[in-house]
Amino acid sequence: EPVVKKNFIHQIIEEELKEGKNDGRVHTRFPPEPNGYLHIGHAKSICLNFGTAQKYNGLTNLRFDDTNPSKEETEYVESIKADVHWLGFDWGDREFYASDYFDQLFEFAVKLIREGKAYVDDQDAETISSQKGTPTRPGTESPFRNRIPDENLDLFMRMKAGEFKEGEHVLRAKIDMASPNMHMRDPIIYRVMHAPHHRTGNKWCVYPMYDFAHGQSDYWEGITHSICTLEFEVHRPLYNWFIDQLKDGEYRPRQVEFARLNLTYTVMSKRKLLELVKDKHVNGWDDPRMPTISGLRRRGYTPESIRNFAERIGVTKVDGMIDVALLEHSVREDLNKRAQRVMGVLNPLKVVITNYPEGQVEMMSAINNPEDPEAGRRDVPFTKEIYIERDDFMEDPPRKFFRMAPGREVRLRYAYYVTCTDVVKDENGEITELHCNYDPETKGGNSADGRKVKATMHWVSATENVEAEVRLYDRLFLDEDPLGHKERDFKEFMNPDSLTILDKCYIEPFVKQAKPLDSFQFERLGYFNVDLDSSDEKLVFNRTAQLRDDWAK
Ligand code: ATP
Ligand code: MG
Ligand code: MG
């Protein structure tokens, strides 16, 4: 069992609370950019931000970081809200958008210009970046750096009025071209972009850069802890510089960085996931193979399993790679406690019980969930013809194979002891059905004389059942770290066999009433849930996870 690591952010907060900082207030935010669907990495951030506020009786804002209209869409906003809710968190009426602050941010930029702390640069992006220098060599000052405020103001207003094309002019903060921190070398804070915004429409054709919007939004919302991933550590001086120009009083938001979640056998950047969706390598953002929250939900993951996973991996300052088997372990552990058990046969082989009465249907009493006594029992119909799993029979078994074989007695779970008497084959030698005898004295699965059998097998009546399609998933990538290969595209490492569709599976009648996303354990096989593609005509199941646990081994 992995040890729950101590959360260093909680330690920071407890120190601050002791000192009476922020009047004991804890206020976090989850700030997604609505440019794609959320993934399991975001789930870690959601659990951390909302969980931290809950722990200290604080608040959490949901803030959409929507400063780049070319990539953002309302569809993404809606999916993000649905995913956060589904994970079990609620932001109440604290739903914000960076675009709500476009006026305030513009005013703030004007203030910086007036104070001589920002200037309009007429150079193109390439030239500006060529002047940045290196960490050990100072950058070159732009020839426009010493423009007087009035001229800067005039140009900035004309940028806003739409007089310029994209890239003709940018607004830069005037900080320090020799700073050892590259982000402090006169960063671009506003750019011209002739793109309609999903919320502000055509009102703006200048948009603030992420760094110029994020900290200020935190400040205006009264955020105390702006929790972000480690790559923003080097942005922190700039974050603080803007807050210094803005603040009037004691309060300031504090940026705290933690290590992002990386998982083996997958990729997690929205840009990469979008590529998989656009190029149809997967069937949409919620494809059950995707590491998206919507994909995991469709796959049968529960919110609890994801929250437990986030808790287990802990919060650290060191980047690393988490074994995806731990995520799979978390869902197995949760479903083991709550999933209804049923019997289902994925690769059917027909068995005729020759001495069983024709047309008889006997109800066998089965346990719904051995982990939950309250779950009770159900009846499973037993008939003369049944299906077993093709793998559960071998005509010529090796020594360690204890399941069905000619002449051998085995137990059919909840039903009878049966012995295989005949193997029926077609002209190609392919086994088409088995004939068995049953012992009527073994009803329920126990013999009166106490004789033992070595195997208990699942089965489904061949006449009283539900036919279903079952989708088996394997990892989307064959490589542990598909992004870890220089000069090779991550898509080269995709698993060509990540989806297997079995279209004639038989499940006991209990699942007839199942609704999309309902989860079951198919005994001996794994956890399966009803897919969103399921209809009254055709039941479709996803395999959430196999029973075998790669983590616990
Ligand atoms: P992506 O790589 O998916 O584009 P991002 O950081 O650009 O990630 P945002 O929408 O900006 O995506 O992220 C919202 C919040 O989620 C941010 O605070 C970000 O730090 C956090 N976050 C994103 N990815 C991860 C991850 N893998 N692990 C932990 N937190 C993450
Ligand atoms: Mg981001
Ligand atoms: Mg991103």
* DSSP notation for 297-310: HHHT--HHHHHHHH
DSSP 158-217: HHHTT-S-TTT-EEEE---TT-SSGGGSS-EEEEE----BTTTBTS-SEEE-HHHHHHHH
User: pLDDT digits over 487-507, tens only?
Assistant: 999 999 999 999 999 999 999
**Contact in structure between 335 and 529 (CB atoms under 8 Å):** no
pLDDT band at 483; cut points 50, 70, 90: very high
CATH number at residue 299: 1.10.1160.10
- 109 and 252 part of one domain: yes
270 catalytically annotated: yes
pLDDT digits over 265-283, tens only? 999 999 999 999 999 999 9
**Ligand 1 atom with minimal separation from the 46 CA:** 16
The rounded distance, in Å, linking the Cα atoms of 285 and 228 is 24
Claim to verify: residue 176 and residue 296 sit in the same structural domain: no
Average model confidence (pLDDT) for the chain?
96
Structurally, the chain folds into a number of domains equal to: 3
Angle at 243 between CA 240 and CA 247, to 5 degrees: 140
Q: Which of 204, 229, 258 is the last residue of a domain?
A: 258
> The domain spanning residue 54 has which CATH number?
3.40.50.620
Distance 269 CA to ligand 3 centre (A): 6
The label of the residue with tokens 């931000």 reads: 49
What ligand is nearest to the CA atom of residue 231?
1
Domain assignment of residue 161, yes or no:
yes
SS3 category, 12: helix
Which residues are CB-neighbours of 535 under 8 A, at least 6 positions away? none
Q: Is 223 a member of any domain? A: yes
Of 179, 189, 184, nearest to 120 by C-alpha is 189
**Which is nearest to 77 in space by CA: 59, 104, 102, 95?**
95
- For residue 549, the model assigns a pLDDT of 78
H helices of 222-323, in order, are: 236-246, 270-278, 293-299, 303-313
d(CA 82, CA 103): 29
Q: Ligand 3 centre from 318 Cα, in Å? A: 20
Centroid of ligand 3 to alpha carbon of 171 (angstroms) = 23
Containing domain of residue 278, as a range? Answer: 270-340+468-546
Distance 271 CA to ligand 3 centre (A): 7
Q: Give the tens place of pLDDT for each residue, 324-365.
A: 999 999 999 999 999 999 999 999 999 999 999 999 999 999
Nearest ligand by distance to the CA of 76: 1
Same domain, 333 and 376: no
Distances (CA, A) of 55 to 5, 25, 71, 309: 16, 12, 35, 18
Distance 71 CA to ligand 1 centre (A): 15
Q: 375: domain CATH number?
A: 2.40.240.10
Amino acid, single-letter form, for residue 267 = V
Q: Which of 28, 68, 71, 229 for mutating ligand 1's site (highest number of atoms within 8 Å of CB)?
A: 229
Q: What is the pLDDT of residues 139-190, one digit of tens each?
A: 999 999 999 999 999 999 999 999 999 999 999 999 999 999 999 999 999 9
Pocket mutation for ligand 1, best pick of 45, 52, 267 (most atoms within 8 Å of C-beta): 45
In this structure, the residue with its CA closest to atom 25 of ligand 1 is: 41
Atom of ligand 1 minimally distant from the CA of 232: 20
CA distance 434 to 410: 14
The ligand minimizing its distance to the Cα of 321 is: 1
101 and 184 inside one domain: yes
Do 477 and 448 belong together in one domain? no
Residue 191's pLDDT band (cuts 50, 70, 90): very high
Mean pLDDT of 105-131: 98
- Looking at all shown ligands, the one closest to residue 36's CA atom is 1
Q: Evaluate whether residue 345 is within a structural domain.
A: no
Of all residues in the chain, the percent with pLDDT exceeding 70 is 99
End-to-end CA distance of the chain: 11
Q: Does residue 51 lie within any of the structural domains?
A: yes
Tell me the pLDDT band of 1, cut-offs 50, 70 and 90: very low
Closest listed ligand to the CA of 31? 1
Out of 38, 42, 483, give the residue to mutate to test ligand 1, the one with the largest number of ligand atoms within 8 Å of its CB. 42
Q: 331 and 250 in one domain?
A: no
87 alpha carbon – ligand 3 mean position (Å): 21
The one catalytic residue in 29, 147, 236, 270 is: 270
Which of 230, 258, 286 corresponds to the end of one domain? Answer: 258
Q: Which atom of ligand 1 is nearest to the CA of 270?
A: 3
From the CA of 31, give the closest atom in ligand 1: 14
Catalytic residue among 21, 33, 385, 403: 33
Cβ(227)–Cβ(258) under 8 Å?
yes
Burial classification of residue 544, based on how many CB atoms lie within 10 Å of its CB (0-12 exposed, 13-18 middle, 19 or more buried): buried
pLDDT tens digit sequence for 373-388? 999 999 999 999 999 9
Q: Would you say residue 498 lies in a domain?
A: yes
For the chain, give the number of residues.
553
Q: Residue 75 and residue 274: Cα distance in Å, rounded?
A: 13
Residue type for 522, please? F
pLDDT for residue 5 is more than 80: no
pTM value > 0.90? yes
Are 401 and 521 in the same domain? no
209: pLDDT strictly greater than 90 = yes
Asked whether residue 161 falls in the same domain as residue 245, the answer is yes
pLDDT at residue number 4:
52
pLDDT in tens, 225-245: 999 999 999 999 999 999 999
Q: Is residue 264 part of a domain?
A: no
Locate the ligand 1 atom nearest the alpha carbon of residue 45 and give its number.
30
Give the model confidence (pLDDT) of 21-68 as tens digits. Answer: 999 999 999 999 999 999 999 999 999 999 999 999 999 999 999 999
Beta-ladder partners of 422: 435
Q: 32: CA distance to ligand 2 center in Å?
A: 7
| 3 falls within a domain | no
**Are 335 and 357 in the same domain?**
no
- Interface predicted TM-score (ipTM): 0.97
Same domain, 234 and 280: no
Neighbouring residues of the ion ligand 2, judged by CB less than 5 Å: 33
**260 tagged catalytic:** yes
Residue 6 has pLDDT above 90, yes or no: no
> What is the pLDDT, as a whole number, of residue 374?
96
As a dihedral over the C-alpha atoms of residue 455, residue 347, residue 336, residue 294, rounded to 10 degrees, the angle is 170
Using the atom order of ligand 1, give the atom closest to the CA of residue 32: 10
Both 329 and 418 in one domain: the answer is no
Task: Quote the ligand 3 centre to 32 CA distance (angstroms).
Answer: 9
The ligand 1 site (C-beta within 6 Å) comprises: 31-33, 39, 41-42, 44-45, 65, 228-229, 260-261, 268-271
Do 336 and 355 have their domain in common?
Answer: no
In the predicted structure, residue 2 carries a pLDDT above the cut 60: no
Q: Is residue 461 part of a domain?
A: no
Residue 550 scores a pLDDT above 80: no
pLDDT of residue 105 exceeding 70, the answer is yes
Q: Based on the residue annotation, tell me whether 332 is a catalytic residue of this protein.
A: no
